């Protein structure tokens, strides 16, 4: 009851602010109006949202698209309590207090420095309060009062944007509509025809540069017929600058590139002359060619100047005391060579790929051009050979949170070939809420132990030529071997897993990551309680082959995973997108070689093919970046074939949970319209999944963030994966009764194109997130709106919602479910 009291107390506390947010006009003085809305009409060449970014006068932010100016209420609430004189006195008092204390200790003593740091922190907080206001003011927004001067300036800014885009004669006017104390501004655009490029020319007295730019003309951004754009000209200047610096012109800069635009010769058209200026008192730009490349691998270690020795590998002179790192492997991450022209791109690639080795504290590449020669100096400082890590926290996955502990040890340059050997282990415990045979909720304790040993090589372990290895060095290639052991201990069973993987990992120049696993193997064994075994056998008779997940088995597979990040501007991720594709083939090759071994030892083996797609999109909805919309589409299918037409338990798809469909507990949604028998609460696997999530995220204040979401999805069986060798024949329950269709997984769970839309589970809900700098804690309440597993056929269950359901939000069988998670759901 105390928990519900606190919830009601918070809701009642926030209600006055929400109500006051609807009546922001009460803060106005006589003759003032609130800028309630602004819009653009008559535009087609430039989108409205882009034009509105240039406005000087903006309406206040809305909360969750509602006509509520919550941030204004917060600001006004703080403004009424703001006292600049009082804060100034507090600042002086803090400074005086700490100045007295500092006089008691010697300067630069430990106590002195500690007090000085504390003083700086206190003073900074007080100064922030004076300059930016109190907590409520800093997290709120001043009332957007209509200002005709700002609106006039906004219209002028829009006209400037049109001119920058080539619509030189476009005009922007505005109209203001008044309703009571509200002002609504409409910007009316009259677009002119754009100016198109007719001709482009190049002017330079440097013959070498002229021929370089002429050869690279197909890559020029200035194309005949293009619409004039200042942004395109700026990008062309950057492109020429980058090209010159990759062709050996070390001292070239963008200031040498200018454009002369002429619009007088042909109405509606323009010509561009690209002018490359020369340095002062010079006729040509100097071309720099590398004379030598040196690499000091222990630059920060003092006292080694005389002890270092030099060794040349692949044209690079390595300088080190002990040469413990393989210079041959290092040379494959260095892309600058003597005799080659200077290249900024290769320099940055060298820095990036050396840093990716996880061997150095820093990587610096400097150039010395004194004496008329260019010498490249690479300086690195080694990291500690051994590194330990320890983590303790909460395990929030499928059930009630519990403690989690992780410990890791890393050994760098293990065999002097820049390898990394890692040993890690962990323990986690959580409470798993289930239903007993009488339908009464109970909490079981689940404990997990794991240990992993991995060895990572900074190259592909594959016979390749030295030239090919140097080319691949730009892709951060890695080969990773892993051996692991893990256990799950619950009252119903104890499961152990021994696994090994062989991975090739690389990253493209665009930042996309790829993982090819030519071999993955696992041996799985379980000990079951007698009652749990009987329950699994009964489920197998009903078509749920969950028992296969607990039989002694061997899983072998080959897989490929591609992770594509389409957000090119990481500093301004307004419209980020992410795609992960996965394909896996199990048991096709090694399964044939070891089939006789499996049969002699009574081990289950599997042959299957599985693939999945996971696409995510993030869109910022306002200029202040306080509101974002995110959505996700997840689709996958797994097909088992061969003698055992079953999938390994880990290869099934599952729906439900805090990162899936939040109206169901993890792994309990589906398959199809299947209704689990009363008193059972087991995982519901599927061979196909269709899942989509929509979420609106709104920053509230401080580290609080709100969310509204809709989750849609389900899993299904495919029909031809039935049968196999579970050891249990399909059939009716042991009492001989015939199963209704909704209780037969083979019927209710099978995917049918004509009816699958009606079998999608739908959840609506709201969430509260605590977004700390180091962690995001999430509380999401999901409400089932459409439940395909209703025995009465009344799938639309939202009208059945009662307030009492919210008190049962921690009960797995409730229509309302509280989800607790770490990080965003997607």
Place of tokens 């052991």: 485
Same domain, 214 and 354: no
Task: Give ∠ CA 413-414-418 in degrees, rounded to 5.
Answer: 30
Q: Reply yes or no on whether the pLDDT at 54 is more than 50.
A: yes
> How high does pLDDT run on average in the chain?
86
Give the ranges where 502-575 is alpha helix by DSSP (H).
530-541
Domain count, the chain: 3
User: Hey, is 318 helix, strand or coil?
Assistant: strand
* Residue 707 to residue 658: CA distance in whole angstroms: 14
The 10s digit of each residue's pLDDT in 712-752 is 999 999 875 555 444 444 444 545 556 677 777 778 889 99
Token pair in block for residue 28: 């106005």
Closest CA to 618 of 690, 569, 689, 560: 569
Q: Reply yes or no on whether the pLDDT at 671 is more than 80.
A: yes
Q: Reply yes or no on whether the pLDDT at 301 is more than 90.
A: no
- Asked if 640 and 726 count as a contact pair (C-beta separation under 8 A), the reply is no
- Asked if 566 and 579 count as a contact pair (C-beta separation under 8 A), the reply is yes
* Residue 158 to residue 46: CA distance in whole angstroms: 10
Instruction: Indicate the burial class of 583 (C-beta count within 10 angstroms; 0-12, 13-18, 19 or more).
Output: middle
Query: Does the residue 667 lie in any domain?
Result: no
Q: Reply yes or no on whether the pLDDT at 571 is more than 50.
A: no
Boundary residue ending a domain (382, 416, 438): 382
Greatest C-alpha distance within the chain: 102
The DSSP annotation for 251-295 comes to: T--GGGEEEEEE-SSSTTEEEEEEEEPPPTT-SSPPP-BEEEEEE
Helix (H) or strand (E) holding 418: none
Same domain, 36 and 174: yes
Closest CA to 710 of 636, 796, 785, 821: 785
The DSSP annotation for 51-66 comes to: HHTT-SS-PPPPBTTB
Same domain, 270 and 300: no
Boundary residue ending a domain (139, 155, 190): 190
Neighbours of 168 (CB within 10 A): 17
Query: Does the residue 374 lie in any domain?
Result: yes
> Cα separations (Å) of 610 from 294, 523, 559, 589, 689?
49, 20, 9, 16, 11
- Asked if 297 and 320 count as a contact pair (C-beta separation under 8 A), the reply is yes
Query: Does the residue 252 lie in any domain?
Result: yes
* Residue 299 to residue 320: CA distance in whole angstroms: 9
* Residue 731 to residue 744: CA distance in whole angstroms: 10
* Banded model confidence at residue 10, pLDDT cuts 50, 70, 90: very low
User: DSSP label at 121?
Assistant: H
Mean of the pLDDT values across residues 605-628? Answer: 88
Same domain, 17 and 144: yes
Closest CA to 364 of 352, 372, 374, 373: 352
Least confident of 187-201, 227-241, 298-312: 298-312
Tell me, what's the pLDDT at 670? 85
User: DSSP label at 796?
Assistant: B
Tell me, what's the pLDDT at 8? 41
The 10s digit of each residue's pLDDT in 97-119 is 999 988 888 888 888 889 999 99
* Residue 452 to residue 173: CA distance in whole angstroms: 67
Same domain, 99 and 136: yes
Q: Reply yes or no on whether the pLDDT at 685 is more than 80.
A: yes
User: Which domain does 347 fall in, by range?
Assistant: 290-382
What share of residues in the chain are helix, strand, coil (percent, to 5)? 25, 35, 35
Q: Residue 332 maps to which CATH number?
A: 3.10.20.310
> Cα separations (Å) of 68 from 34, 77, 142, 366, 625?
13, 15, 14, 56, 17
* Residue 126 to residue 111: CA distance in whole angstroms: 23
Same domain, 202 and 171: no
* Banded model confidence at residue 80, pLDDT cuts 50, 70, 90: confident
Same domain, 124 and 77: yes
Q: Reply yes or no on whether the pLDDT at 17 is more than 60.
A: no
CA 494 to chain centre: 35
Tell me, what's the pLDDT at 248? 96
Tell me, what's the pLDDT at 2? 42
Same domain, 324 and 259: no
Least confident of 139-148, 166-175, 300-309, 530-539: 300-309
- Asked if 581 and 635 count as a contact pair (C-beta separation under 8 A), the reply is no
Token pair in block for residue 782: 């999901």
Query: Does the residue 156 lie in any domain?
Result: yes
* Banded model confidence at residue 203, pLDDT cuts 50, 70, 90: very high
Tell me, what's the pLDDT at 397? 58
Mean of the pLDDT values across residues 27-47? Answer: 89
Mean of the pLDDT values across residues 597-618? Answer: 86
- Asked if 636 and 612 count as a contact pair (C-beta separation under 8 A), the reply is yes
User: Hey, is 413 helix, strand or coil?
Assistant: coil
Least confident of 459-463, 729-733, 808-812: 729-733
Query: Does the residue 135 lie in any domain?
Result: yes
Tell me, what's the pLDDT at 433? 62
Tell me, what's the pLDDT at 108? 81
Boundary residue ending a domain (382, 406, 425): 382
Closest CA to 167 of 228, 248, 246, 107: 228
Neighbours of 541 (CB within 10 A): 16
Q: pTM for the full model?
A: 0.84
Least confident of 13-27, 158-172, 732-746: 13-27
* Residue 338 to residue 295: CA distance in whole angstroms: 13
Tell me, what's the pLDDT at 107? 85
Query: Does the residue 558 lie in any domain?
Result: no
Query: Does the residue 533 lie in any domain?
Result: no
Mean of the pLDDT values across residues 400-408? Answer: 86
Tell me, what's the pLDDT at 16? 44
Token pair in block for residue 133: 């206001």
* Tally of residues, the chain: 826
Tell me, what's the pLDDT at 436? 56
Same domain, 358 and 254: no
Q: Reply yes or no on whether the pLDDT at 5 is more than 50.
A: no
Query: Does the residue 521 lie in any domain?
Result: no
Same domain, 311 and 327: yes
Instruction: Indicate the burial class of 597 (C-beta count within 10 angstroms; 0-12, 13-18, 19 or more).
Output: exposed
Helix axes 84-102, 110-132, angle to 10 degrees: 170
Residue with the larger pLDDT of the pair 70 and 696: 696
Same domain, 22 and 135: yes
* Residue 342 to residue 365: CA distance in whole angstroms: 12
Same domain, 204 and 326: no
């Amino acid at each position: 009851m105390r928990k519900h009291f606190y919830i009601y107390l918070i809701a009642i506390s926030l209600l006055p602010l929400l109500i006051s947010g609807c009546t922001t006009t009460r803060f106005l003085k006589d003759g003032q109006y609130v800028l309630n809305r602004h819009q653009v009409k008559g535009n087609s060449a430039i989108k409205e949202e882009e034009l509105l970014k240039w406005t000087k006068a903006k309406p206040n932010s809305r909360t969750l698209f509602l006509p509520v100016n919550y941030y204004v209420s917060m600001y006004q609430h703080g403004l009424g309590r703001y006292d600049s004189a009082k804060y100034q006195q507090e600042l002086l008092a803090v400074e005086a207090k700490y100045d007295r204390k500092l006089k008691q200790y010697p300067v630069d003593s430990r106590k002195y420095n500690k007090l000085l740091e504390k003083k700086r922190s206190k003073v900074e907080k007080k100064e922030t309060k004076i300059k930016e206001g109190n907590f409520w003011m800093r997290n709120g927004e001043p009332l957007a009062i209509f200002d005709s001067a700002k609106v006039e300036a906004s219209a002028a800014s829009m006209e400037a944007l049109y001119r920058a885009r080539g619509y030189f004669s476009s005009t922007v006017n505005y109209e203001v509509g008044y309703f009571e104390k509200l002002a609504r501004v409409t910007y009316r655009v009259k677009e002119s025809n754009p100016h198109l490029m007719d001709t482009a020319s190049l002017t330079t007295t440097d013959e070498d540069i002229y021929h370089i730019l002429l050869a690279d003309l197909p890559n020029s951004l200035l194309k005949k017929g293009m619409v004039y754009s200042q942004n395109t000209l700026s990008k062309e200047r950057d492109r020429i600058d980058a090209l010159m610096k990759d062709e050996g012109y070390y001292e070239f800069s963008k200031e040498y590139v200018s454009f002369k635009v002429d619009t007088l010769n042909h109405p509606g058209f323009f010509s561009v002359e690209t002018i490359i200026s020369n340095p002062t008192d010079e006729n040509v730009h100097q071309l720099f060619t590398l004379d030598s490349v040196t690499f000091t691998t222990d630059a920060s270690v003092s006292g080694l100047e005389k002890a270092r020795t030099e060794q040349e590998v692949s044209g690079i002179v390595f300088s080190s005391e002990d040469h413990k790192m393989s210079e041959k492997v290092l040379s494959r991450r260095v892309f600058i060579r003597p005799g080659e022209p200077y290249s900024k791109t290769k320099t940055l690639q060298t820095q990036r790929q050396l840093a990716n080795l996880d061997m150095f504290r820093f990587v610096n590449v400097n150039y010395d051009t004194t004496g008329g020669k260019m010498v490249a100096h690479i300086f690195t400082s080694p990291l500690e050979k051994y590194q330990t890590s320890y983590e303790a926290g909460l395990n929030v996955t499928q059930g009630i949170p519990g403690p989690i502990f992780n410990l890791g040890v890393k050994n760098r340059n293990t065999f002097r070939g820049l390898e990394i050997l890692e040993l890690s282990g962990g323990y986690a415990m959580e409470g798993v809420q289930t239903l007993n045979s009488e339908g009464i909720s109970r909490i079981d304790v689940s404990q997990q132990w794991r240990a992993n040993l991995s060895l990572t090589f900074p190259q592909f372990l594959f016979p390749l030529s030295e030239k090919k290895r140097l080319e691949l060095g730009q892709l951060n290639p890695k080969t990773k071997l892993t051996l692991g052991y893990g256990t799950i201990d619950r009252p119903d069973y104890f499961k152990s897993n021994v696994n090994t993987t062989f991975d090739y990992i690389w990253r493209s120049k665009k930042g996309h990551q790829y993982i090819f696993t030519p071999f993955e193997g696992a041996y799985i064994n379980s000990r079951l309680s007698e009652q749990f075994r009987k329950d699994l056998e009964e489920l197998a008779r009903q078509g749920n082959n969950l028992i296969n997940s607990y039989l002694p088995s061997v899983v072998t597979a080959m897989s490929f995973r591609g992770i594509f990040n389409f957000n090119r501007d990481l500093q301004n991720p307004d419209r980020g997108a992410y795609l992960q594709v996965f394909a896996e083939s199990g048991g096709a090759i090694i399964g044939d070689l070891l089939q006789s071994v499996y049969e002699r030892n009574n081990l289950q083996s599997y042959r299957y093919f599985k693939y999945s797609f996971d696409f995510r999109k993030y869109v910022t909805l306002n200029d202040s970046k306080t509101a974002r919309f995110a959505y996700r589409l997840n689709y996958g299918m797994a097909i088992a074939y061969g003698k055992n037409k079953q999938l390994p338990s880990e290869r099934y798809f599952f729906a439900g949970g805090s990162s899936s469909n939040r109206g169901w507990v993890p792994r309990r949604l589906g398959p199809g319209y299947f209704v689990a028998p009363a008193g059972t609460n087991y995982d519901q696997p599927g061979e196909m999944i269709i899942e989509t999530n929509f979420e609106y995220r709104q920053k509230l204040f401080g580290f609080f963030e709100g969310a509204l979401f809709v989750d849609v999805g389900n899993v299904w069986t495919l029909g031809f994966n039935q049968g196999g060798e579970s050891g249990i024949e399909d059939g009716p329950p042991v009492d001989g009764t015939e199963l209704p269709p909704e209780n037969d997984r083979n019927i209710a769970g099978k995917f049918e194109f004509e009816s699958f839309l009606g079998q999608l589970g739908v959840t609506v809900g709201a969430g509260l997130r605590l977004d700390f700098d180091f962690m995001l804690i999430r509380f999401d309440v999901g409400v089932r709106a459409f439940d395909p597993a209703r025995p009465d056929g009344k799938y639309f269950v939202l009208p059945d919602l009662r307030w009492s359901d919210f008190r049962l939000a921690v009960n797995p069988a409730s229509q309302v479910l509280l989800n607790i998670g770490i990080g965003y759901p997607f």
